């Protein structure tokens, strides 16, 4: 029996999700991370180098996120970066 593939966050090993829930596969067969996962990693950088690009990415991506994606990102940021300024923007 084949075991389902899972994604494990290497920074927070307790964060485990089915691979199909955190990625999508493009027409060429290449697997990409979902935007909420990418934003989670970008949030880690905070005020370090690249902040403006990360802010632009959030601003441009936020309207495209589903309610479920926004909720997951807000909840996860609350756990791993509880004072992050993006949390307020995600829960509006």
pLDDT confidence band for 3 (50 / 70 / 90) = low
Confidence class for position 49, pLDDT limits 50, 70, 90: low
pLDDT at residue 1 in the model: 47
Give the per-residue SS3 of the chain. Answer: CCCCCEEECCCCCCCEEEHHHHEEECCCCCEEECHHHHHHHHHHCCCCCCHHHHHHHHHHHHHHCCHHHHHHHHHHHHHHCCCCCHHHHHCC
Quick check: 54 pLDDT over 70? yes
Residue 32 reports pLDDT greater than 50: yes
């Amino acid at each position: 029996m084949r075991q389902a593939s899972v994604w494990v966050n290497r920074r927070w090993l307790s964060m485990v999700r089915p691979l199909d829930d955190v990625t999508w596969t493009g027409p060429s067969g290449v697997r990409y991370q979902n935007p909420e996962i990418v934003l989670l990693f970008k949030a880690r950088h905070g005020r370090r180098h690249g902040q403006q690009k990360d802010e632009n990415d959030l601003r441009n991506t936020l309207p495209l996120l589903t309610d479920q994606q926004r909720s997951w990102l807000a909840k996860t940021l609350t756990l791993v970066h509880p004072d992050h300024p993006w949390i307020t923007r995600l829960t509006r």
